[in-house]
Structure 1
Amino acid sequence: MSKMHYKTVWLSDIHLGCKDCKAEYLLNFLQQCQIDTLYLVGDIVDLWAMSKQFRWPKDHNKLFHYLLSLTAQGTRVIYLPGNHDEPLQQYDGMNFGDIEIHRSYTHTTAQGKKLLILHGDQFDPQVCFGPLHSWIGDVLYDFLLFLNRWYNWCRVKTGRPYWSLASHIKRKLKGANQAISRYRNACIAMAKNQGFDGIVCGHIHHPEIVEQQGILYLNDGDWVENCSAIVETQSGELSLVYWSFVTKANHLVDVSAKPKVVNGRKVA
């Protein structure tokens, strides 16, 4: 397979150190890409999970070192810490080696669209339903990831590609959809108020591209359940992609070509 050349790639919510991190999928995706600029949009290393139980398997270590090596390959890497890697937020505006650290950033596409980039935990006060609802949500999400883990273990054993059962179930839950909508609206309001054409974020593990009130909302998803990224071509087209194979049958799913997969589309 020849490498795909992207002007820009946005990744978030990798959660290295968490047992549900799909490090092998992301490493496989990155090895198929040539990237001019890579944005790591928060929750790259899950310090919360590792504070409860330290785990750093070989595939996580391989991915971590590959990310560090990208600058030597000519890729500009910009890291925007989130809530799970919050200690790095104090280094806003500094460099870690050749990796730039920012809390938020402005990206201009090849077609002149000005995009605000941030992780998205900034909007938690506007989205949260209260302590009880948050606790219930966390418990239910952990259970969904448990189901997702074992469901996909069975799929791999039968030679089928990864598929996010957790994401499928979430889309059916009214409470989850309400939280996603509130989060999306908060993101769009900030981008509009600050004069941006769009916003790129992560945080809620729900990948999508939506145009609302004349503002592009691009959520790059995660590598815990969805294995998704936002990419920009050399001509400035933006699209949401999924990577669901780690064998020789590598396959890139472009949402614009598969509209039934998820509510997303390519944006010129």
Structure 2
Amino acid sequence: MKTDFKTIVISDVHLGTKGSKAKEVSRFLKQYSCENLILNGDIIDGWQLKKSGSWKRKHTRFFNRILKMIESNNTKVFYLRGNHDDFLDQILPLQIGNLSIQNDLVYESNGKKFFITHGDVFDSVTSNFRWIAYLGDIGYTFLLWLNRQVNYHRRRKGLSYFSLSQYVKGKVKSAISYIDEYETELAKMAKSRGCDGIICGHIHKAENRTIEGITYMNSGDWVETMSALAEDHKGNWQLIYYSEIDFKKESEETIIPIDSKIDLKTVAFSNLSGELKFPNFKI
């Protein structure tokens, strides 16, 4: 059954790479409908496409699904620039009908104000030492390749999926320290802008928590975690994981409001209140 959300946020799909779960994210979007869809950066991986990446039919189908959402549900789509799709700088800002392409967004909903950004602008490594960022990208790409080999053998043995890169991040002290600092600095930025919270991506770590009175939310990624943020019509935010969705109930014909009682496994739930509006943009 289709669930109707007010807003869905996804990031870090990395279309054009072998690790991109394009088929899964398209199926996810087919499962739900929403008034607003925010694509929060690194949707297309321009870095990999310049090197060894390739564009597949399933990558095109992802955008076909978005066009279908615009056509069928009049969904407003906001594509925010990330570091891997920095080629968008050449056309920013751009608005075509229900599609807006821009750097970031201030989102007001239920009396709360959220600053939405991919997050790389606050990453001093990516911003000031681009060659180091590329080197890190190479290392991460290798980890993803190795991860595919490991999980191929795990599947043959009937074992569940294992994220090698997430395991490495959890064991390396410098990575843990970086993530903590990243989240704290983003929360400070939201506060300095007079916002109640911040919504980001970039580090491929889904999260929904409070940092010194500021709501910090990260939508995760569609390379490993396969997660998204969603807001219902009452202003409740939640993280949804692809692996926990019951696709047996999937149906195109029926749309059920999220306010109704449904069996949807989620984590990190918080309550907000108010009306939605996108300032400075006329749709």
TM > 0.5 fold call: yes
The residue number in structure 2 matching 1:114 is 113
The Cα shift of 1:155 comes to: 4.8
Aligned residue for 1:171, secondary structure, equals helix
Aligned residues: 257
Aligned residue for 1:235, secondary structure, equals coil
Query: Does the 8 Å CA contact 2:187/2:197 hold for their aligned counterparts?
Result: yes
Matches within 5 A, 1:4-83: 4-73=3-72, 74-83=74-83
The residue number in structure 1 matching 2:103 is 103
The Cα shift of 1:76 comes to: 0.8
The residue number in structure 2 matching 1:86 is 86
The residue number in structure 2 matching 1:266 is 269
Question: Residues 267, 245 of structure 1: CA spacing in aligned structure 2 closer, same or farther, 3 A cutoff?
Answer: closer
Aligned residue for 1:37, secondary structure, equals strand
The Cα shift of 1:124 comes to: 1.7
Q: Using the alignment, how far apart are the partners of 1:144 and 1:129 within structure 2?
A: 24
Question: Residues 88, 14 of structure 1: CA spacing in aligned structure 2 closer, same or farther, 3 A cutoff?
Answer: same
Aligned residue for 2:210, secondary structure, equals strand
The Cα shift of 1:165 comes to: 3.5
The residue number in structure 1 matching 2:278 is none
Query: Does the 8 Å CA contact 1:207/1:228 hold for their aligned counterparts?
Result: yes
Question: Residues 158, 112 of structure 1: CA spacing in aligned structure 2 closer, same or farther, 3 A cutoff?
Answer: farther
Please give the per-residue CA displacement for 1:235-259, whole angstroms capped at 9, x wherever unaligned: 111111110279955896412xxxx
Question: Residues 29, 155 of structure 1: CA spacing in aligned structure 2 closer, same or farther, 3 A cutoff?
Answer: farther
Which amino acid letter does the alignment assign opposite residue 99 of structure 2? Answer: I
The residue number in structure 2 matching 1:259 is none
Q: Using the alignment, how far apart are the partners of 1:168 and 1:106 within structure 2?
A: 34
Question: Residues 228, 55 of structure 1: CA spacing in aligned structure 2 closer, same or farther, 3 A cutoff?
Answer: same
CA RMSD across the alignment = 2.7
Question: Residues 134, 66 of structure 1: CA spacing in aligned structure 2 closer, same or farther, 3 A cutoff?
Answer: closer
Question: Residues 99, 120 of structure 1: CA spacing in aligned structure 2 closer, same or farther, 3 A cutoff?
Answer: same
Which amino acid letter does the alignment assign opposite residue 203 of structure 1? Answer: H
Say yes or no: does 1:151 pair with 2:163: no
Q: Using the alignment, how far apart are the partners of 2:107 and 2:25 within structure 1?
A: 23
The Cα shift of 1:163 comes to: 4.7
Please give the per-residue CA displacement for 1:104-134, whole angstroms capped at 9, x wherever unaligned: 111122x321100011111121788978975
Aligned residue for 1:224, secondary structure, equals coil
Query: Does the 8 Å CA contact 1:5/1:34 hold for their aligned counterparts?
Result: yes
The residue number in structure 2 matching 1:142 is 141
Please give the per-residue CA displacement for 1:218-241, whole angstroms capped at 9, x wherever unaligned: 011110111011110111111111
Length-normalised TM-score, structure 1? 0.85
The residue number in structure 2 matching 1:233 is 232
Query: Does the 8 Å CA contact 2:36/2:77 hold for their aligned counterparts?
Result: yes
Which has the larger displacement, 191-200 or 164-173? Answer: 164-173
Q: Using the alignment, how far apart are the partners of 1:44 and 1:199 within structure 2?
A: 19
1:254 to 251, 266, 273: 266
Query: Does the 8 Å CA contact 2:245/2:265 hold for their aligned counterparts?
Result: no
The residue number in structure 1 matching 2:279 is none
Q: Using the alignment, how far apart are the partners of 1:13 and 1:34 within structure 2?
A: 20
The Cα shift of 1:175 comes to: 1.3
The Cα shift of 1:60 comes to: 1.5
Aligned residue for 1:266, secondary structure, equals strand
Matches within 5 A, 1:180-195: 180-195=179-194
The residue number in structure 2 matching 1:219 is 218
Q: Using the alignment, how far apart are the partners of 2:175 and 2:67 within structure 1?
A: 35
Which amino acid letter does the alignment assign opposite residue 123 of structure 1? Answer: F
Aligned residue for 2:23, secondary structure, equals helix
Structure 2 regions of 5+ residues with no counterpart?
A: 250-262, 272-283
Q: Using the alignment, how far apart are the partners of 1:134 and 1:126 within structure 2?
A: 6
Q: Using the alignment, how far apart are the partners of 2:200 and 2:129 within structure 1?
A: 23
The Cα shift of 1:152 comes to: 3.2
The Cα shift of 1:64 comes to: 2.3
Q: Using the alignment, how far apart are the partners of 1:131 and 1:83 within structure 2?
A: 10
Query: Does the 8 Å CA contact 2:7/2:35 hold for their aligned counterparts?
Result: yes
Matches within 5 A, 1:156-175: 156-157=155-156, 162-175=161-174
Aligned residue for 1:25, secondary structure, equals helix
Aligned residue for 2:235, secondary structure, equals coil
